[in-house]
């Protein structure tokens, strides 16, 4: 027994401890990334003895789906967990990655944010709470510990009163933001809060050093997505996805380092959050499960570098959208599947930031440059940006003759990725839930009988590329047996505005009686916005019946209320009807509770 115990202890000593220091809502605005305005001495010191990754993406530009990506090693568009916020079943037979570490003897703690859009399949952590700490492990048990700092969260950018530390006069205002005192103050306060997050990281590193474990522990530092400023957070541009990632691997574990590792160095390898789960398992000597969609970039099971990384945007709070993005490290490709929606849809939480308020006011007053004004307009189907020449991503090169080769490369990479992961985000959110009942969205998405992905995806492509030649195909798709195909066909006519509705008028009128409420809602919005008075009357009747939360489920209600909002002043006849809707609406889980009330409040405010 003594020999067995000594052998087990030796094995434990041979395995690294793993420490993650995470922070919220901040990109690579740090000294170690060359930002001279930033003050981040603690992470800079970590980078000086470790290595930074220059092309790290968070996959999602907002916390819940980003953290869902990390914990699962799966893309949320594949698991049905991309919406901010949501809650869906975990894929059958799979587990969150700390489960595998615990099986291997690691003590796993999280202090303390989870915010997963996936239901936890059993117990994930040994302890996940404000008191969780690696110090509570048994003996020399190896640990995996996460400490999350909230200091740089979006909400802290706008907390007042605040005494500025960074001088607002010296901040660099990106070209897409107006240069106003409000914007400068928010950006300067953001830098102040990044410094506060850096101080939290320094305190955790000191704890490790004081315990004599600094050379026994592999340390990661990263932010959970881009800055909390509008057009970074929630948007899958590089500005919303590019995060700092600093890794220190002690000399004792040099065999786990990648070939490019050197103290104070950098790696240009493309990595993203979906890679973190397999990477941590690899560092612990555990072969990552083959079902994980990421690739280990450190440790015993390092995989080859990937040529692209990917991003996504789905529903953000109460507003629907569907955007996908990809990069090769230099060029960023963005595919907008709902180009008829403006970038800056009204979100209650985002509009609490002074920058958002002044930005929208200046738009309304016609006082913005074209680059600044773009956020308040509808989107093109495709965008392409050269980060070397245009780091603020304001010059869309998708139509540039000299960029068609890289556009085609990234477009093809994007489509291949969509097919590989069986992206279920092309279903209306309510259908993600209904089609996966008794299973999970991931498993449903890989079942052709439940989700004919190729037919749905091809129709979404046809609809959203906005080619005039697509009209006959859209008419045919509106007769398809699958409701999601019909949904995208109806969207295709809506996206084309008045011309689309005139061309598809007969088909859209029939779609007002479609068996799917989501098809009816899209048809009603299209005819209400671009049809005649008779069309508007029929559309208002459909939307009013589906927007009543006492008679419809949550997702139908929320979709209908968004449709009513899209009609603007044309929805005025529903003023009294909306006031009679139940104020709280239906909700499948507390994570969704605030969305219907927000929509109702906005509609009632507009129609006073």
pLDDT at 586: 80
What CA–CA distance (Å, rounded) separates 252 from 231?
42
Q: Given the DSSP bridges, would you call strands 51-57 and 245-248 parallel, antiparallel or unpaired?
A: antiparallel
Cα distance between residue 23 and residue 332, in whole Å: 25
Is the pLDDT confidence value at 7 over 60? no
Q: What is the pLDDT of residue 13?
A: 58
CA distance 591 to 583: 17
**Tokens linked to 13:** 């000593």
Quick one: average pLDDT of 125-154?
98
Please, are residues 410 and 378 in contact by the beta-carbon 8 Å criterion?
no
Determine the Cα–Cα distance for residues 88 and 441; give it in Å rounded to an integer. Answer: 7
The stretches of 255-403 forming alpha helices (DSSP H) are 276-283, 354-364, 370-373
Does 11 have pLDDT greater than 50? no
C-alpha 605/C-alpha 10 separation (Å) is 67
pLDDT of 8 higher than 60: no
**Percentage of the chain with pLDDT > 90?**
96
Residues 21 and 31: beta-carbon distance below 8 Å: no
Contact in structure between 529 and 499 (CB atoms under 8 Å)? no
pLDDT exceeding 70 applies to what percent of the chain? 98
pLDDT (mean) for 305-320: 98
pLDDT tens digits along 545-563: 999 999 999 999 999 999 9
- Give residue 366's pLDDT band: very low, low, confident or very high (50, 70, 90): very high
Q: How far apart are CA 570 and CA 577, in angstroms?
A: 14
Distance CA 533, CA 120 (A): 50
Span 111-135, pLDDT tens digits? 999 999 999 999 999 999 999 999 9
pLDDT of residue 584: 84
Sign (positive/negative) of CA torsion 460, 464, 469, 474? positive
* pLDDT of 9 strictly over 70: no
| Residue 63 annotated in active site | yes
Give the pLDDT of residue 5.
36
Q: Which residues make beta-bridge pairs with 331?
A: 386
Residue 222 bridge partners (DSSP)? 22, 245
Distance (Å, whole) CA 268 – CA 272: 12
Partners of 221 in the beta sheet? 21, 246
pLDDT at 606 over 50: yes
Q: Which of 32, 63, 108, 422 is catalytic?
A: 63
Compute the distance between CA of residue 212 and CA of residue 201 in angstroms, rounded to an integer: 17
Please state whether beta strands 51-57 and 265-272 pair in parallel, antiparallel, or not at all (unpaired).
parallel
Three-state secondary structure along 448-471?
Answer: CCCCCHHHHHHHHHHHHCCCHHHH
> Which residues share a beta bridge with 384?
333
Closest CA to 444 of 455, 435, 434: 435
319 conformational bin, left if phi > 0, alpha if psi -120 to 50, beta if neither: beta
Q: How far is the C-alpha of 468 from the C-alpha of 513, rounded, in Å?
A: 26
Mean pLDDT for the chain overall: 96
User: 385 pairs with which residues across the strands?
Assistant: 332
The arithmetic mean of pLDDT across residues 191-202, rounded, is 98
| Tokens at 559, concatenated | 């979709």
Tell me how far apart the alpha carbons of residues 103 and 120 are, in angstroms, rounded to a whole number.
16
| Residue 421 scores a pLDDT above 70 | yes
- Residue 583 burial by Cβ neighbours in a 10 Å radius (0-12, 13-18, 19+): exposed
Other Cβ atoms within 10 Å of 34 Cβ, number: 11
Give the N- to C-terminal CA distance of the chain in Å, as an integer: 79
Average pLDDT over residues 481-487: 99
Of 71, 97, 69, 65, nearest to 83 by C-alpha is 65
State both tokens at 309: 């990384």
- The SS3 call for residue 439 is coil
- Residues pairing with 21 in the sheet: 147, 221
DSSP string, 516-585: SHHHHHHHHHHHHHHS-HHHHHHHHHHHHHHS-TTTS-HHHHHHHHHHHHHTGGGGGGGHHHHHHS-SS-
């Amino acid at each position: 027994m003594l020999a067995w115990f000594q052998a087990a202890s030796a094995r434990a000593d041979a395995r690294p401890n793993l420490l993650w220091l995470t922070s919220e809502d901040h990109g690579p605005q740090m000294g170690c990334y060359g930002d001279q305005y930033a003050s981040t001495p603690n992470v800079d010191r970590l980078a000086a003895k470790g290595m930074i990754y220059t092309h790290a993406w968070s996959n999602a530009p907002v916390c819940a789906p980003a953290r869902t990506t990390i914990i699962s090693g799966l893309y949320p568009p594949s698991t049905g967990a991309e919406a901010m916020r949501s809650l869906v079943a975990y894929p059958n037979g799979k587990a969150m990655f700390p489960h595998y570490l615990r099986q291997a003897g690691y003590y796993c703690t999280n202090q303390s944010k989870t915010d997963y859009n996936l239901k936890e399949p059993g117990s994930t952590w040994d302890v996940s709470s404000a008191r969780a700490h690696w110090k509570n492990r048994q003996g020399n048990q190896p640990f995996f510990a996460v400490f999350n700092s909230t200091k740089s969260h979006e909400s802290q950018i706008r907390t007042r009163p605040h005494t500025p530390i960074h001088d607002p006069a010296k901040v660099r205002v990106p070209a897409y933001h107006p240069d106003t005192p409000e914007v400068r103050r928010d950006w300067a306060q953001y830098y102040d809060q990044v410094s506060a997050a850096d101080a939290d990281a320094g305190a955790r590193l000191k704890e490790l050093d004081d315990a004599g474990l600094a050379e026994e522990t592999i340390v990661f530092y990263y932010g959970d997505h881009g800055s909390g400023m509008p057009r970074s957070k929630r948007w899958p541009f590089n500005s919303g996805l590019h995060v700092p990632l600093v890794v220190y691997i002690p000399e004792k574990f040099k065999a786990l380092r990648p070939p490019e590792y050197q103290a104070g160095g950098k790696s240009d390898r493309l990595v993203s959050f979906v890679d973190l789960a397999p990477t941590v398992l690899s560092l612990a000597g555990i072969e990552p499960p083959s079902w994980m969609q990421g690739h280990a970039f450190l440790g015993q099971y390092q995989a080859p570098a990937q040529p692209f990384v990917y991003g996504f945007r789905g529903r953000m709070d109460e507003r629907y959208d569907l955007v996908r993005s990809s990069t090769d490290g230099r060029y960023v490709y963005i595919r907008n599947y709902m180009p008829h929606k403006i970038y800056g849809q009204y979100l209650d939480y985002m509009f609490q930031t002074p920058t958002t308020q002044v930005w929208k006011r200046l738009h309304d007053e016609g006082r913005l440059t074209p680059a600044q004004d773009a956020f308040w307009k509808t989107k093109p189907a495709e965008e392409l940006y050269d980060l070397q020449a245009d780091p603020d991503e304001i010059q869309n090169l998708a139509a540039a003759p000299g960029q068609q080769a890289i556009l085609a490369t990234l477009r093809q990479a994007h489509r291949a990725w969509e097919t590989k992961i069986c992206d279920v985000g092309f279903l209306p959110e309510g259908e993600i839930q209904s089609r996966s009942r008794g299973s999970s969205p991931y498993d449903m998405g890989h079942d052709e009988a439940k989700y004919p992905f190729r037919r749905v995806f091809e129709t979404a492509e046809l609809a959203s590329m906005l080619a005039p030649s697509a009209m006959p195909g859209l008419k045919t798709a509106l007769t398809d047996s699958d409701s999601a195909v019909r949904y995208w066909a109806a969207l295709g006519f809506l996206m084309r505005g008045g011309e689309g509705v005139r061309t598809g008028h007969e088909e859209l009128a029939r779609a007002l009686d479609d068996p799917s409420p989501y098809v009816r809602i899209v048809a009603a919005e299209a005819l209400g916005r671009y049809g005649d008075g008779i069309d508007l009357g029929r559309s208002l009747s459909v939307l009013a019946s589906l927007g009543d939360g006492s008679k419809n489920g949550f997702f139908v209600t929320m979709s209908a209320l968004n449709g009513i909002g899209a009609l603007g002043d044309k929805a005025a006849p529903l003023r009294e009807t909306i006031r009679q809707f139940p104020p709280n609406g239906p909700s499948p889980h507390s994570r969704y509770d605030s969305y219907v009330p927000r929509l109702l409040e906005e509609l009632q405010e507009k129609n006073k």
